[in-house]
Amino acid sequence: MTLDDRVALITGPRRIGAVVAAHLAERGCDVVLSYNRSRDEAEAAADVVRALRRRAHLIQADLADPSACRAMVDEAAREMGHLDILVNMASIYVSKPLDETTDADWDRQMSLDLRATWACSHAAVPHMRCRGGGRIVNFTDWVARSGRPRYTGYLPYYVAKAGVLALTEGLALEVARDQILVNAIAPGPIVAPPGTSDEELRDVERATPLGRWGGEGEIARAVVFLCETDFVTGETIRVDGGRHVR
């Protein structure tokens, strides 16, 4: 699929999402950015898109609410005239010991990482059918893609991201006849979380066969590939510097 004059909706425009937005705009996409509380970051990402002579539109939404997911998708299509690409990036990544994890923690993780991916995708499909096809790119995690947990303290996150893998495969089958391709990206060490110490940075580098962090551009290039391909669907691409082979 060529990306000229396509409309892409990205949830979670902070850091990596902003770089994804810029890469899609460089290839001709107009971009809708959905945010919850990070309006300043969303505005900055939108400014970059506009500087690349493409349209940008911001939508505030709490994607833990499925009705907000559907309203956001419909607004994106209405404001931009159509919808071709959905990039489901919104996520929570918080470590918490098992004994301190509450039902509310579990529900929040599932509602944002898994149910929002479903609700946004479900709402986007009719709009993409009207266009004769489309692309949905979901985000899981290299640990979930490896098929086994590797770190304690992230149980709800691991389960939600494993669910995204199943959702990606099942949805890809459901909408293949509509020429809607559904894939996922499983990032590894791309950008260090805020507060990461120098020693923690080096530990990750030592554990990564390529010996370095990937950077936001690696994810953006993977997203572009999955938007442009016409024959890859139901796949999850690991962008992890080889972490899964060690």
Q: Which of 35, 154, 157, 158 is catalytic?
A: 157
Tokens standing for residue 15: 């850091």
Judge contact between 7 and 85, C-beta under 8 A.
yes
153-173 in b/e form (b: 16+ CB < 10 A) is ebbbbbbbbbbbbebbbebbe
203: Cβ–Cβ under 8 A, 6 or more apart, which residues? none
The angle that helices 116-130 and 155-175 make with each other, rounded to 10 degrees, is 20
123: Cβ–Cβ under 8 A, 6 or more apart, which residues? 69, 70, 72, 73, 74
Bridge partners, residue 58, by sequence: 33
157 is catalytic: yes
Known catalytic residues are: 157
